[in-house]
A and B are shown apart, each in its own frame.
Chain A
Amino acid sequence: MNNRLRVLRAERSWSQQDLADRLGVSRQSVNAIETGRYDPSLPLAFTIADVFGLPIEAIFSRD
């Protein structure tokens, strides 16, 4: 699965730790999702969408 996490984060000048704090997860989690090493669960994907104020499909897409 592809995602635009890094771009969206950069647009808001958030560090990985900033985003992790907003999501309530570790910085490692954000890094793993950004680099495509880990696909988040549906609940976490919804939380990510809420944090960015975007629909899930605007953040995640299929390969």
Chain B
Amino acid sequence: MSQAVPAGQKLWSGGKSPYNVEYGKLMMWFFLMSDAFTFGAFLISYGSIRFASNSWPDPNHVFRNFPLIGEMNIPLAFVSLMTFILIMSSVTMVLAVTCGHNNDRKGVIKWMIWTIIGGLAFLSCQAWEWTNLHSEGAWWGSIATEAGSHFLNANGSTPTTNFSNFFFTITGFHGFHVFSGVIINIIMLIKAWRGDFDKRGHYLMIEKAGLYWHFVDLVWVFVFTCFYLL
């Protein structure tokens, strides 16, 4: 499925990119690789600590709340909504990139607006999640350990602050990426609206911003699995 290269053309003979992409796009991919290793290292350290522990808080008990409905018990419903929102915003981003390929300025503006709304919605959900957990006694360096706490380990024993430290650090680092992605998308929207890309002749910058946004979604898929499912 790679792009067709004329027969006999040697990719590594110099004069053109052996990857057949422009410089900025290649650099974005390499940056995303480095960022993937950073997140990967965080998640692997989380995994190491969990493997080193006899028991761990049960996600079905920790993540059972949903905004506006009080003390109902629906495990994982809220995080499912957050995952759906982020995946949808990835879809709208791809649609924006596609419109960019067709030099459709109005389409790019429309889909970028939806992507930004999706990103802001996700951040709001994450803020609610953090506030909710904090009100129940979890934060960096603290976790509710008394009988009846929803943070008790699955085998009933006293939880350590490992859980809350890792949760807030990793979801915080991810949320920071979502936030910076929203800022970048807003800048892309303004540039598209002003006609900067029409003047330039191509919408490649939207594509690069799109790569960053998809990366943010990709990381969430792993974070969601590690903290809420496993």
Answer yes or no: do A and B interact. Answer: no
Residues of A bordering B, CB below 8 Å: none
Residues of B in contact with A (beta carbons under 8 Å apart): none
